Amino acid sequence: MTPEIGQFALTLALAVAIVQSILPIVGASTGRVLWMESAKTTAVLQVTLVAIAFGALMRSFVVSDFTVRNVVENSHSLKPMIFKVAGTWGSHEGSLVLWTFILVLFGAGVALLGRNIPVGLKARTLSVQAWISVGFLSFMLFTSNPFERVFPPPLDGTDLNPLLQDIGLAMHPPLLYFGYVGFSIVFSFAVAALIEGRVDPAWARWVRPWTLTAWISLTAGIALGSWWAYYELGWGGWWFWDPVENASFMPWLLGTALLHSAIVTEKRDTFKSWTILLAILTFSLSLLGTFIVRSGILTSVHAFAVDPARGVYILGLLGVTIVGSLTLYAWRAPQLGSGGVFRPISREAGLLLNNLLLATATATVLFGTLYPLFVEAVTDEKISVGPPYFNATFIPFMLPLVIIMGIGPFLSWKRADLPGIWQRLRLVFGIAIGVAGIVWYLQTDGPLLAVVSIGIAAWVFVATLREWALRIKLFDLPLSQSLRRARNLPRAAHGMTLAHLGVAMLVLGFVGSTAWKEERVLFAEPGTTVEIAGFEVIFDGVERLRGPNYIAQQGQLRVLKDGREITLLRPERRNYPVAGTSTTESAIRSTLRGDLYVTISEPATEKASGQWNLRILYEPLVNWIWIGATMLVLGGSLSLSDRRLRVGAPSPKSRSSALQPAE
């Protein structure tokens, strides 16, 4: 019965979405208030109905209802409960329900929380959002019904992929979707603004919290996925430039650009048509990602099961949404008008350069991801584009971006005073050079680029701190007064500082774990000692263990530093008999200086019988990647909690806000 309720709820949701896609927008153009306000009811109704469907599907997973095909294919009665729950969004169909749920959730969010948004803009925005949900609900009902029954029901489910039974991976899709589906509402705001033919600072301010919310979750989702790959896959790598990873990374890059350009629209009433374009493109890239993951058009390690009919439907959806909105853009953008003037050296210009670099970097990733397809279509030849390409082309755009990130916050609007800024950054520049020099002296074997990058990280870090100190007049005023100034500073300003410091940490982690990584790969018998990065690792042997649904071989390794035992590492090789697969469970000793990372497996050759294949890695500074990502998330959240941006709070109409530097 439950699955039927779910299916019925989805069908009803489609009907409601159709109503919402017509009534409010027609009401807005004919001035019927009641029609416009119907959006609130329909948006809430939609989210309730899709929530019912989502709940129904989850229940089928929790009780292991094997009359539902989706449960049969993606669950097993032996799975731990949490992974049964996570199985709800583990398949193509189930994840689509989650996708749609987040889509309507953002719609309802604007309907309920966006009290200060003018009724016309709100009505149009919600109608546009409903167009998207009509597309996805119909896609689900016509091609990917999650509630399809199977008869006769099998005794048990078929999927127990142990690699995916991990809490990091279970939480990864919801966060990721919350991020990139969240950009849908920003898209809807942009299309509504185009229809109205008006974009002003108020518009940018209304949209900002939604952009931030989406961006924060996307950041967290990507970081979580990367962390999972790091500890679970056993190579110690955290980014592989796989098409599916790129699919989530592209909206993040462009979303970051959007976040910055919207500030200029908000503070200076300029970059209007550019901000609108970014809003449209960011969500378009989210849609493209959905298409890449579900169409099987590219080779990837983690694509869903593939069905060309679905591919055609999503592509149609993509075509209507993206080409439609961009055509509207080409037609209406000239009416948005251009804003104020600024000098080539000004905060506007700085943010423009930031946007240009981010947009080009996005284009590079997009290009590299799709290029094999282009070549195949034109010349019928197959080529591959992999990490060496992305590293070679992406990094040259990122380093300048990080450099200007240090200067940007010092620039004033319209026209900045370069000599004055140099005065204030001289010392910072000296410190950065000094740090790079010390690193170069200590590490003679790494590539030069690594040393330069560390210098750049130091530059951003110190420059950001300096800017923050100047704002609160630290050292110029008594400490108590400075602290008071810090308290009075808008939270968004602290948010920016924290996020920019986070970027410095990210660079530190990227460089450390790539350039100075150490690795030992060896066959070991019990008693073997390995030296790595100043540690002595003693292999004591292997024990057989029995887990709930697996058999494991657990290695025992003692780690010594300066002759003293500091920790015991127990990597495992797990064999899951029901699923017929094995996984590698790494053991990691994490410190801020670096991770000692051990995996164990059986040797492939018979010559090494009685021995074990040990892989010991030392990844310097790798944890700073996740610390940096956390700081980005916290910085974003701090900015989101700013009183001036708080959803529903009345917007203060003070002139002074225009004087405050961007956050």
Partner 1 sequence: MMKKILLAMPALVAVVLGGFLFWGLNPDRDPNAIPSALVSEPVPDFELPPVESTQTPGLSAAALRSIGEPVLVNVFASWCVPCRAEHAVLTRLVEQDGVRLMGINYMDKPADAANWLEELGNPYERIGSDSEGRVGIEWGISGVPETFVIDANGIVVYRYVGPIVTPEAQDEIRAALAAAGGQS
Partner 2 sequence: MKSWLYSLVLMLAATTAAWAVEPDELLDDPVLESRARELSKQLRCVVCQNQDIDSSNAGVARTMRTLLRERLIAGETNDEIIAFFVDRYGDFVLFRPRLKPATYLLWFGPAVLFAVGIGVVFVTIRCRSRAVLDGTADPLSPDEEREFEAIFHENEGRRDP
The answer to whether residues 24 and 107 touch, using CB atoms and an 8 Å cutoff, is: no
Residue 126 CA to residue 529 CA, distance in Å, equals: 65
Closest to 503 measured CA to CA, from 369, 408, 644, 363: 408
Contacts of 332 (CB under 8 A, 6+ apart): 194, 195, 197
User: N- to C-terminal Cα distance for the chain?
Assistant: 52
Nearer to partner 1, 97 or 277 (CB): 277
Q: What are phi and psi of 540, to 5 degrees?
A: -95, -15
Segment 312 to 331, residues that bind partner 1, using CB under 8 A: 312, 315, 318-319, 322-323, 326-327, 329-330
Nearer to partner 2, 275 or 321 (CB): 275
Q: Bridge-partner residues for 158, per DSSP?
A: none
Contacts of 309 (CB under 8 A, 6+ apart): 143
Angstrom distances, CA of residue 16 to CA of 31, 48, 191: 21, 11, 21
Which of 382, 487, 546, 655 binds partner 1 (CB under 8 A)? It is: 382
Which of partner 2, partner 1, none sits in contact with 470, Cβ below 5 to 8 A by type? partner 2
Angstrom distances, CA of residue 431 to CA of 435, 436, 446, 472, 482: 6, 9, 21, 21, 24
The distance of Cα 645 from the centroid of its chain, to the nearest Å, equals 22
Which of 55, 118, 168, 296 binds partner 1 (CB under 8 A)? It is: 296
Which of partner 1, partner 2, none sits in contact with 431, Cβ below 5 to 8 A by type? none
Nearer to partner 2, 99 or 342 (CB): 342
Query: Residue 277 CB, nearest distance to partner 1 (Å)?
Result: 6
Query: Residue 610 CB, nearest distance to partner 2 (Å)?
Result: 14
**What is the pattern of x (binds partner 1, CB under 8 A) and - over residues 259-278?**
--------------x---x-
The answer to whether residues 640 and 216 touch, using CB atoms and an 8 Å cutoff, is: yes
Q: What are phi and psi of 329, to 5 degrees?
A: -60, -50
Which of partner 2, partner 1, none sits in contact with 235, Cβ below 5 to 8 A by type? partner 2
Q: Cα–Cα–Cα angle for 32, 37, 40, nearest 5°?
A: 160
Residue 293 CA to residue 242 CA, distance in Å, equals: 11
Residue 527 CA to residue 536 CA, distance in Å, equals: 12
Nearer to partner 2, 326 or 385 (CB): 385
Query: Residue 658 CB, nearest distance to partner 2 (Å)?
Result: 7
For the chain, how many helices (H) and strands (E)? 20, 10
Query: Residue 607 CB, nearest distance to partner 2 (Å)?
Result: 7
Nearer to partner 2, 31 or 610 (CB): 610
Nearer to partner 2, 366 or 627 (CB): 366
Which of 112, 298, 438, 486 binds partner 1 (CB under 8 A)? It is: 298
Query: Residue 250 CB, nearest distance to partner 2 (Å)?
Result: 14
Q: Does 603 bind partner 1 (CB under 8 A)?
A: no
Nearer to partner 2, 584 or 637 (CB): 584
Query: Residue 350 CB, nearest distance to partner 1 (Å)?
Result: 22
Q: Does 373 bind partner 1 (CB under 8 A)?
A: yes
Nearer to partner 1, 293 or 625 (CB): 293
Q: Does 334 bind partner 1 (CB under 8 A)?
A: yes
Query: Residue 611 CB, nearest distance to partner 2 (Å)?
Result: 9
Nearer to partner 2, 65 or 242 (CB): 242
Which of partner 2, partner 1, none sits in contact with 415, Cβ below 5 to 8 A by type? partner 2
Residue 557 CA to residue 554 CA, distance in Å, equals: 10
Which of 374, 392, 423, 658 binds partner 1 (CB under 8 A)? It is: 374
Which of partner 1, partner 2, none sits in contact with 433, Cβ below 5 to 8 A by type? none
Q: Cα–Cα–Cα angle for 599, 605, 607, nearest 5°?
A: 115
| Helix or strand (DSSP H, E) at 519 | strand 518-524
Place of tokens 């804003």: 339
Q: What is the DSSP letter of 68?
A: B
Residues that bind partner 1 (CB under 8 A): 273, 277, 280-281, 284, 291, 295-299, 308, 311-312, 315, 318-319, 322-323, 326-327, 329-330, 333-334, 370, 373-374, 376-377, 380-382
